[in-house]
């Protein structure tokens, strides 16, 4: 991660990643099956869940649809 990213962004990435991970596990999906469901590469999903990567908006839409949630629930 670049060093010039503000701490609040890093914190929000981690919060988002944790929320996605919890919702995915609560729905009973492994990362591998969830990656297949959403069409997102498993490594990309791992980086998002660890808070290491910002998800693209299209990926957020796919994740929300797979979880039957709104994007606002994911990022709130």
Q: Tens digits of per-residue pLDDT, 20-47?
A: 999 999 999 999 999 999 999 999 999 9
Domains and CATH numbers, the chain: 7-75 (1.10.260.40)
Whole-model pTM: value is 0.88
Of all residues in the chain, what percent are helix, strand and coil, respectively (each to 5)? Answer: 70, 0, 30
**Model pLDDT, residue 39:** 97
Mean predicted lDDT score pLDDT of the chain: 94
């Amino acid at each position: 991660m670049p060093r010039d990213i503000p701490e609040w962004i890093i914190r929000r990435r981690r919060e988002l990643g944790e929320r996605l991970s919890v919702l995915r596990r609560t729905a009973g999906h492994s990362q591998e099956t969830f990656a297949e469901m959403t069409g997102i590469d498993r490594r990309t999903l791992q980086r998002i869940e660890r808070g290491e990567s910002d998800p693209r908006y299209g990926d957020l839409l796919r994740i929300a649809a797979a979880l039957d949630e709104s994007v606002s629930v994911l990022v709130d």
